[in-house]
Structure 1
Amino acid sequence: MSQIIIEHKPSEERLAELGVAEWPIWEKEISTFSIDFDETETAYVLEGEIIVTPVGGEPVQILPGDLVVFPAGLDSHWEVVKPLRKHYSYD
C-alpha cells in the first residue's frame, strides 16, 4: 500500500530548495471526495485542514505548514475540514 509522507514545518531553506513559492496554488471548500493519484504529488499546505484516508489505511491529518507527498498509485478519500489552500507540484 502506498504511504503518505508528511514533513511537519520544513525549514525555509528546504522550501526554497524545492521551489515551493513557484508552485501553483489549489483551493478547495469544505467537502469530501475521492482522489486516485496516477502520479506523485508534493504539496505544501498554506491554510486549512484535511483528513486523507488511503483506501485500506488509517486517516492522516494534514495541517498548515505540512509538506506532503501523495505517491503515485495512492487511492484516497479526502475530507476538507477547513477551507484548503495549498501549493502543489507533480513529479
Structure 2
Amino acid sequence: MKIEVRKPSPQETAAMQQCPVWEKEPSEFPWHYNERETFLVLEGEVTIEAGDQTVKIGPGDLVTCPKGLDCVWKVHKRIRKHYTFG
C-alpha cells in the first residue's frame, strides 16, 4: 500500500476546491484509512509514515492514501486541506 503524491491538474484543483476543508494544529497521531482519501494541501507541512514509506507533503500537493492504510501523521506546521473520501 503506497501513498501517492503529485501536483494536480487545473481540473483536479477546481474539483478539490468544492470539497470540505480540514485543519489540524501541529501534532502527531496514528491513523487508519477505512476508505481511500484524496486531499489537496492548501498550507502546512506534514510527514506521513506508513511502514517503510515516509512522505513529506506541503502546499500544492495532491495526495491519495489507499483504503486499509495504517500510518502516523506528523503535522509540523498547521495543515489546511480540501479532502474527499471514496
State the TM-score, normalized to the length of structure 2. Answer: 0.94
Which runs of 5 or more structure 2 residues have no equivalent in the other structure?
Answer: none
Q: Give runs of ≥4 in structure 1 deviating > 6 Å.
A: none
Partner of 2:2: 3
% same residue: 44
Which runs of 5 or more structure 1 residues have no equivalent in the other structure?
Answer: none
The aligned amino acid for 2:35 is E
Partner of 2:65: 70
SS at match of 1:3: coil
What is the CA distance between 1:59 and its match in structure 2? 1.2
The two structures, once aligned, show a CA RMSD in angstroms of: 0.9
The aligned amino acid for 1:61 is K
What is the CA distance between 1:21 and its match in structure 2? 1.1
The count of corresponding residues between Structure 1 and Structure 2 is 86
Q: For 1:6-85, what aligned pairs fall within 5 Å after superposition?
A: 6-8=5-7, 10-16=8-14, 19-54=15-50, 56-85=51-80
Hey, what's the Cα distance between the residues in 2 that align with 1:14 and 1:43? 10
